[in-house]
Structure 1
Amino acid sequence: MDSTYYEQIEDYLNGEMSHEEKAHFEAALSADKELAGTFSVYRTIETEMRGTAKYKMQEKDLRNTLLALNKRYFENEPQPTTKIIPLYSGKIFKTIFAIAATILLLLVTCFYFFKPHNTTQLLADTYFKENLLHINQTISDPEDTLEFGIAGDKLKQKNTIQDSLETGITAYNNQEYPNALMYFQSVYKNHPEYREAKKYTGLVFLASKEYDKALQVFDELAKENVPGNSGLFLKALTYLQRNQKGDKKRAKLLLQQVVKNRTENNKEAEDLLKKL
């Protein structure tokens, strides 16, 4: 793989590319599987680093507290010269026990408060960033054939629709969600046979953390009896990201349904269930 791609990946993730550079790089992502795999690894590392960085300050505070306890109870304690006090002396034993209990309590508190609480939400967020934050510029055609005699008009209309979808996808990949939403909703409203536009509409809401709107879109999508329907899986993912009371249970039920019926994303659903 071209060594310059590593620099381009960093520039892309850091938002340091121009609009033209982004478009060129995203086209390379779609065409080069090796580059796409490397990009996924880089993005995962960046996600994990952001997820752990916010806990560094709390860990530093805990470390300072433990050092203060050590100085208070051990370093400043007068050292015996000739008299040796047995370890099992009642007073000394109680003091050591109290210190140990305090340190243990601090460690337990650290584990409980400083670890990421929303592991469910973090799991869903990581999946979204690795698999759905970027949409490939490959659009399926809902029509397999064109009618003879009006093929030219249909082809022209089809190209216009696909241009709109591609423009929306580019906006989505650039995290310009309001623009992307405008294109996707317009396409689906006027041409509902392009169901991908509806799916992309839901992804915009999910990326924007408008979970209720995303749930409504994915629920409607799940009710459509068409091949490759990922509505149920995306609805479950939205519940996991929203992470309100009862959402985890709802998500698990949907994921189990996806696995049982072997619908779209059943492998991913099975993997998520193992981690919940």
Structure 2
Amino acid sequence: MNELDVIDRYFAGQLSPMERKRFEASLNNIDRVRPIAFYLLARQVARQEANRRKKPLPVYRPIFPIISMAASLLFFLGFGWAIWIWQTPVSAAELADQYLTDHFHQFPVTLDGTSDSLKTACRYYNQGNWQAAEAVFESLLQRHPNQPDALKFGGIVSLQLRKYDQAIHRFHRLGQQTDLYANPGIFLEAIAHLKRGQPMDKNRAKHLLHTVIQGNLEEKNEAGQLVGRLGDH
């Protein structure tokens, strides 16, 4: 396993306790810190670039210019700034918001085999009309309580409207379905708990995230990164 693989597995929460301890002990070595700093800065720049690509851009930017940009920034700003990016405390709700922004900026409107109602709700969401989208999703779920896409996207709308209990309920119902090829329900339920932020929500979210990791379920890598970022704060 090469050095970047080890770094990536560390931040994804995939190292064993012994490997994690050995990795952290090595941070006293400046030669070890340099590739870690570069990794963190490259990932930050790549995330920012990914967010920009959600808006129409005249030119597509491939990955190698992103890495070059990160290398230039690393040279001018120094390694300490890159480490600060990762170590700066971030609240659980902010981590959940970051995930929602990265993955649900818009809903797909060309879902194969779906009803017109679902497509209409997705269009409302993409227009920023969350209340109208919620009304359509609610009507659809009354007729088809276990429709997977309605539970998934309807749950996201509930989160955006701060109807956290409803979002948790929808994602939980989705997560209980065992006949789906890919099911993000358990992971999204964890996100909803992080957003709600009640006293036991963080512990519940961590339990769900570990379930995703251990079960090799959808969004396993994202779950590992969230567990690593949550830490003890």
Task: Confirm or deny a common fold (TM above 0.5).
Answer: yes
What is the total number of aligned residue pairs between the two structures? 150
Name the structure 1 match of 2:204.
250
Structure 1 residue ranges without an equivalent (≥5): 1-36, 45-115, 142-160
> What is the match of residue 5 of structure 2?
none
What is the Cα deviation at residue 205 of structure 1?
A: 0.6
71, 93, 96: which is aligned to 1:121?
Answer: 93
Q: Distance in 2 between matches of 1:255 and 1:244?
A: 17
**Quick one: distance in 1 between partners of 2:108 and 2:50?**
13
Q: Distance in 2 between matches of 1:246 and 1:193?
A: 27
Greater RCO, CA 8 A, separation 6+: 2
Distance, in Å, in 2 between the alignment partners of 1:119 and 1:43 is: 24
What does residue 28 of structure 1 align with?
A: none
- Return the alpha-carbon distance in structure 2 between the equivalents of residues 169 and 187 of structure 1: 12
Partner of 2:35: none
Query: Which of 165, 176, 181 is equivalent to 1:212?
Result: 165
Please point out which of 175, 186, 197 is paired with 2:128: 175
Tell me, in whole angstroms, the C-alpha distance in 1 between the residues paired with 2:91 and 2:173: 28
In structure 2, what is the equivalent of residue 267 of structure 1?
221
Identity of aligned residues (%): 31
User: 1 CA distance for matches of 2:193 and 2:146?
Assistant: 27
Match of 2:189 in 1: 235
Give 2:219's aligned amino acid.
N
Deviation at 1:192, TM superposition (A): 4.7
| Residue 135 (structure 1) aligned with residue 146 (structure 2) | no
The answer (yes or no) to whether the contact 1:133–1:207 under 8 Å persists in 2 is no
Residues 211/192 of structure 1: CA separation in 2 closer, same or farther (3 Å cut): closer
Distance 1:188 1:140, change over 3 A: farther
Contact 2:146 2:173 in 1 (8 A): no
Give the superposition deviation at 1:252.
0.7
Contact 2:151 2:173 survives alignment (8 Å): no
CA RMSD of aligned residues (A): 2.4
User: Paired residue for 1:166, among 105, 109, 119?
Assistant: 119
Q: What is the deviation of 1:245?
A: 1.1
Could you tell me which runs of 5 or more consecutive residues in structure 2 were left unpaired when the two chains were aligned: 1-47, 56-87
- For 1:169, give the aligned amino acid: C
Stretches of 4+ aligned residues off by more than 4 angstroms = none
**Per-residue deviation, residues 121-172 of structure 1 (Å, max 9, x unmatched):** 111111111112311223143xxxxxxxxxxxxxxxxxxx632211110111
**1:199 shift after superposition:** 1.4
Q: Secondary structure, in 3 states, of the residue corresponding to 2:115?
A: helix
Distance apart, 1:237 and its partner CA: 0.4
Deviation at 1:232, TM superposition (A): 0.5
Tell me the amino acid that sits aligned with residue 238 of structure 1. Answer: A
CA contact 1:185–1:198 (8 Å) conserved in 2: no
Amino acid at match of 1:171: Y
Q: Highest CA radius of gyration, 1 or 2?
A: 1
- Find the residue that maps to 1:264 and give its secondary structure: coil
* TM-score, structure 2 normalization: 0.58
